[in-house]
Each structure stands twice: as C-alpha cells, then as structure tokens.
C-alpha cells in the first residue's frame, strides 16, 4: 500500500522545460502514491496527514535514467580507450558473458542496485544481458529495493562473440517468451519488462520479425540504440541495404514508436529523415552525453530535438558512461551542448541548467507515464537533498544551491528517497501531524 503523507522543505520541480519552480519552506502532498501538488500554506483538507519535516533541505522529483546497462556497472571507469564497436568486443561482451553464472550475476547486480539506491535516481530503463536467469534476478533486486524500472533481457543473435551470441533467432525468441512468462508469474510491483534488441548489427532480420510478433503478443515497450557512432551507422547500411536510414531498420518491423512506447539511446548522428521519424512516431531519445564523449561518438543536437518537439530524457549509459549519477548526466549535457555550440554549430544554443533539470525529471519521466514532476496527478517520486557539507561563505538562493548539488553530483547529499509513493532510502521519520505546522511561520533554518 502506498503512503499518504506530506513532506516539508524547499521544493523544486519543473512543469515545463524553461522554468524551475522553487517553493521555499513549503509542502508537497502525496495521497496514496499520487502527488497532489505543492503548497506554501497547507490546504485545510490535508492538515490531518502525517508530515515529515526536512528543514532547509531541498526536495526534488526523483531523477530518471532513461538508458543504462546494469551488467556493465562493474567496469565503470575502465577501458575508455576505444570507439563503440571495438569497445563492445574488447570489454563489454566478455563481461556480459559472465552473467551466465547466477552466482556472479547475483554479486554484481546486488552492487548495482545498492549503488543505484544511494543516488537520486528513482526510475530507470535498463539493459540486462541475454540471460533469462540473471535478468530475473536483477528485476527481483530492483523490485525489492522499491525502484521503478523497465528491465530488458537483451536479444542478440549475430555479429558478437560466441560466448554471448544467442543460438539463432528461434532460440532468442523462445528465451524471450520464457522470460516474459516468468515475469508474469513473479508479479513484480515496481519493475516491468521491456523488449530489448541490442542494436541492428546484433539482430538478424529473422530475429527482428520474431520480436515484432512478441511485441504485439505481449504489448511491450521497446528500448534500443540508434545512430550512436559513424562506423556503426555505415555497418547498418551494409547489413540492411533496403533500409532508408538506420531507424527504418526498426520501423519496417513495427518496432519504432507509434503504438510501441520506444526509447532509443544516443541519436548522435540522426539524419533529417530519421529525426522527422523520431518526432512522428513519438520515440524518446535517451541523450547520453558522458558515454558519447567517452567513446568519441559525438554530441547529439539536443536543442534541435527539443525545438522540434521530440521527447528527450537523459541516460547514464553505464559503462560507456562512467558515472551512475543522473546529476552528472545533467552537468555533462550542459557542458557538451556548450562545446557543440562553440566548436561545431553555433546555430544551436547551449542547454541551460533549467532545461537539463527538466530532461532529468519530467522529460525522461514521461516514458513512465505521469512521473517526474510535483504537479497534481503525478506519481510521487521525491529526493531529499542535504547540502550542508557543500560549504560556502556567501548567501545562496535555493536555486543556486540546487545548481551546486547538480554540478558536484555526490550521492552523499541524498538524505532520503521516495519512489511511487513509498520511502525507499534514508532514515524513516516518526511523522508528526501537519495541523501544528500548516500555518506556522517558516522555522528558523540553521545551516551548519
Ligand atoms: N550499442 C550496442 N550495445 C551497446 C552498449 O552496450 N553500449 C553502448 N553505448 N552502445 C551499444
Ligand atoms: Fe547503451
């Protein structure tokens, strides 16, 4: 059962991409897991609810990681010396092949979930590996932690090392159905399956046909990679000579948005035609700036996507991205957009911090439905941030303090976390009743 309660603190959220709303010393209401809005004076009808006070803390919606790879967490910060295709063969496929061993997978995924839980992420869209057992284990651990996630058993039946390559399209489809049936039996609470063809070079035409059938049978959303690296794109052209452009290689199987909620990571080098199709089909772009820098892939034209009305969120893309922090992804998105503006194309103005905040919350959150905001009717995900250790001699506004928390991206500033209306991390408070506090003048805030 989800809780009904009120949080009190300095509340920040984005309702649109240009503005950050800041409510100092205010209240945010959660009613049976649904946000009922932010109030500087608590309405009468909520005054009987339990109130958890976070004096002088900053409270934001939970952050959304629209693209990451759980089995790559263990080699974050290693092997940053290749481009995509060499990097996959040298580091990624050998590591992912270890997840055939349930004991190894258990150890590694426990670390991943603990690390995710320590940060400000409440929702994530996650690649597992091709292994059914290990993928279910990851889903169980995330569900136990109360984190909201889409998790995909990866499909890959060509152009990869034998120890990670599935034995043909039939086998890959059979294992995917087995995985989906086991997911249904387990009845996860906060975790859902998502169809996950790795990328076109690793999926045969026959496999794509099978996945298309499975998608329709089970009504699944889909995640994959798109137009990340120039050599990858040239390879797709060779592998799929009939496809008009990379996205068309998904689209011709009905696996590119429209009725299929779809998130595509990267879109660094999408052509005009591809960009138009992203918009037409309502496909989400997971912008992964750190990964794109690390693998020397390039910098996606996020400003253009936003101006066109394409849906965009942020991804950490671990382990091509070395940080699991979506705060860090926000800072990187702003930084990379500035480099792109100064070095490549000054027609696209750099992203602002308010825009990065929007992408990390409501922008990516839309993939999960009404999430990522404190507006009335949104699922209640919240992160309580304590910045007392980020010392400064001058007075700062709440917005400035939040900006520092983003740039300095340190999980130790996360004091408590709520996902889908439940507290999932941080000390639990014995909540008092709101009625004593609703109209009281702002408590004297003592900053250490
Ligand atoms: N394309 C196919 N697989 C991967 C992966 O694991 N990481 C990244 N960044 N791109 C991919
Ligand atoms: Fe990726």
Please check whether residues 192 and 96 belong to one and the same domain: yes
* Ligand having the closest approach to the CA of 87: 1
Q: Which of 73, 228, 249 to mutate to test the pocket of ligand 1 (most atoms within 8 A of CB)?
A: 228
What is the helix (H) or strand (E) element at residue 415, kind and residue range? strand 414-419
Residue nearest to atom 5 of ligand 1 (CA): 88
What contacts 157, CB < 8 A, 6 or more positions away? 165, 166, 167, 168, 169, 171, 172, 202, 203, 204, 206, 207
**How many domains does the chain fold into?**
2
- CA gap 27, 9 in Å, rounded: 7
Please check whether residues 103 and 225 belong to one and the same domain: yes
Q: Which of 69, 80, 88 to mutate to test the pocket of ligand 1 (most atoms within 8 A of CB)?
A: 88
Q: Which of 126, 165, 225, 246 to mutate to test the pocket of ligand 1 (most atoms within 8 A of CB)?
A: 225
Please check whether residues 304 and 400 belong to one and the same domain: no
Residue after which a domain boundary falls, among 368, 399, 425: 368
- Residue 1: per-residue pLDDT: 47
Residue after which a domain boundary falls, among 351, 368, 385: 368
Geometric angle at alpha carbon 7, from 5 and 12, rounded to 5°: 135
Q: How many CA atoms lie within 13 A of 82 on its CB side?
A: 13
Beta carbons within 10 angstroms of residue 321's beta carbon: 27
- Residue 441: per-residue pLDDT: 45
* Tokens (6 digits) for 184: 């249904």
Task: Give one DSSP letter per residue of 149-169, joined into a string.
Answer: EEEE-EE--SSS-TTTS-SHH
- Residue 2: per-residue pLDDT: 57
Distances (CA, A) of 241 to 12, 140, 312: 49, 41, 29
> No. of H helices and E strands in the chain?
15, 18
E runs forming strands in 40-95: 50-61, 63-69
Please check whether residues 81 and 57 belong to one and the same domain: no
Please check whether residues 172 and 223 belong to one and the same domain: yes
Cα of 292 from ligand 2 centre, angstroms: 10
Residue pLDDT tens, the chain, 448 long: 459 999 999 999 999 999 999 999 999 999 999 999 999 999 999 999 999 999 999 999 999 999 999 999 999 999 999 999 999 999 999 999 999 999 999 999 999 999 999 999 999 999 999 999 999 999 999 999 999 999 999 999 999 999 999 999 999 999 999 999 999 999 999 999 999 999 999 999 999 999 999 999 999 999 999 999 999 999 999 999 999 999 999 999 999 999 999 999 999 999 999 999 999 999 999 999 999 999 999 999 999 999 999 999 999 999 999 999 999 999 999 999 999 999 999 999 999 999 999 999 999 999 999 999 999 999 999 999 999 999 999 999 999 999 999 999 999 999 999 999 999 999 998 767 775 565 544 433 333 3
Whole-prediction pTM = 0.96
- Residue 118: per-residue pLDDT: 98
Beta carbons within 10 angstroms of residue 15's beta carbon: 13
Cα of 225 from ligand 1 centre, angstroms: 7
Please check whether residues 419 and 329 belong to one and the same domain: no
Which residue is associated with the tokens 């279910």?
136
Q: Which of 72, 87, 92 to mutate to test the pocket of ligand 1 (most atoms within 8 A of CB)?
A: 92
Please check whether residues 68 and 51 belong to one and the same domain: no
Please check whether residues 262 and 131 belong to one and the same domain: yes
Which residue is associated with the tokens 């292994």?
131
Which residue is associated with the tokens 């809780």?
3
- CA gap 110, 188 in Å, rounded: 17
Please check whether residues 139 and 282 belong to one and the same domain: yes
Cα(first)–Cα(last) distance of the chain, in Å?
Answer: 37
* Ligand having the closest approach to the CA of 96: 1
Residue nearest to atom 9 of ligand 1 (CA): 320
Which residue is associated with the tokens 């399209």?
169
Please check whether residues 226 and 289 belong to one and the same domain: yes
Burial 407-419 (b: 16+ CB within 10 A, else e): bebeeebbbbbbb
Cα of 315 from ligand 1 centre, angstroms: 12
Cα of 46 from ligand 1 centre, angstroms: 47
CATH of residue 141's domain is: 3.20.20.140
SS3 state of residue 398 = helix
Which residue is associated with the tokens 């996902």?
419
Residue nearest to atom 8 of ligand 1 (CA): 320
Domain of residue 35, residue span:
5-61+374-444
E runs forming strands in 82-157: 121-127, 148-152, 154-155
Residue after which a domain boundary falls, among 368, 402, 433: 368
Please check whether residues 16 and 69 belong to one and the same domain: no
Cα of 428 from ligand 2 centre, angstroms: 35
CATH of residue 381's domain is: 2.30.40.10
Please check whether residues 23 and 152 belong to one and the same domain: no
Ligand 1 is surrounded, with C-beta below 6 A, by 69, 84, 88, 92, 198-199, 225, 228, 291, 317, 320
- CA gap 98, 69 in Å, rounded: 14
CB-based burial label for 85 (10 Å; 0-12, 13-18, 19+): middle
Among residues 234, 226, 329, 304, the alpha carbon closest in space to that of 268 is found at 226
């Amino acid at each position: 059962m989800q809780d009904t309660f009120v949080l009190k603190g300095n509340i920040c959220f984005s309702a649109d991409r240009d503005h950050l709303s800041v409510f100092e010393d205010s209240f945010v209401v959660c009613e049976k897991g649904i946000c009922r809005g932010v109030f500087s004076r608590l309405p009468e009808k909520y005054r009987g609810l339990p109130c958890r006070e976070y004096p002088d803390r900053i409270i934001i919606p939970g952050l959304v990681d629209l693209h990451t790879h759980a089995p790559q967490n263990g080699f974050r910060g290693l092997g940053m010396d290749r481009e995509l295709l060499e990097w996959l063969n040298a580091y990624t496929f050998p590591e992912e092949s270890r997840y055939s061993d349930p004991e190894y997978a258990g150890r590694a995924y426990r670390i991943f979930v603990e690390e995710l839980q320590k940060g400000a992420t409440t929702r994530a869209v996650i690649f597992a590996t091709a292994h059914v057992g290990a993928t279910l284990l990851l889903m169980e651990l995330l569900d136990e932690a109360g984190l909201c996630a889409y998790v995909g058993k990866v499909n890959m039946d060509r152009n990869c090392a034998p120890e990670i390559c599935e034995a043909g399209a039939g086998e890959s489809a059979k294992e995917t159905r087995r995985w989906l049936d086991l997911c249904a039996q387990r009845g996860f609470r906060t975790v859902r399956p998502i169809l996950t063809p790795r990328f076109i070079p690793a999926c045969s035409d026959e496999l794509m046909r099978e996945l298309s059938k499975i998608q329709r049978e089970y009504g699944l959303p889909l995640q994959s990679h798109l137009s990340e690296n120039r050599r990858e794109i040239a390879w797709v052209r060779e592998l799929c000579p009939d496809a008009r452009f990379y996205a068309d290689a998904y689209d011709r199987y009905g696996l590119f948005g429209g009725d299929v909620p779809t998130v595509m990571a990267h879109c660094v080098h999408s052509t005009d035609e591809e960009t138009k199709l992203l918009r037409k089909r309502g496909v989400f772009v997971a912008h992964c700036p750190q990964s794109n820098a690390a693998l020397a892939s390039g910098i996606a034209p996020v400003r253009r996507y936003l101006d066109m009305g394409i849906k965009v969120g942020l991804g950490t893309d671990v382990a091509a991205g070395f940080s699991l922090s979506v705060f860090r992804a926000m800072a990187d998105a702003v930084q990379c957009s500035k480099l792109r503006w100064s070095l490549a194309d000054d027609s696209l103005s750099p992203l602002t911090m308010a825009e990065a905040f929007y992408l990390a919350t409501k922008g990516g959150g839309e993939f999960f439905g009404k999430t990522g905001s404190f507006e009335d009717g949104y699922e209640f995900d919240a992160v309580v941030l304590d910045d007392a250790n980020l010392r400064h001699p001058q007075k700062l506004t709440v917005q400035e303090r939040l900006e520092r928390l983003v740039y300095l991206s340190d999980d130790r500033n996360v004091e408590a976390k709520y996902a889908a209306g439940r507290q999932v991390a941080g000390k639990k408070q014995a909540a008092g009743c709101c009625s004593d506090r609703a109209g009281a003048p702002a408590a004297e805030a003592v900053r250490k």
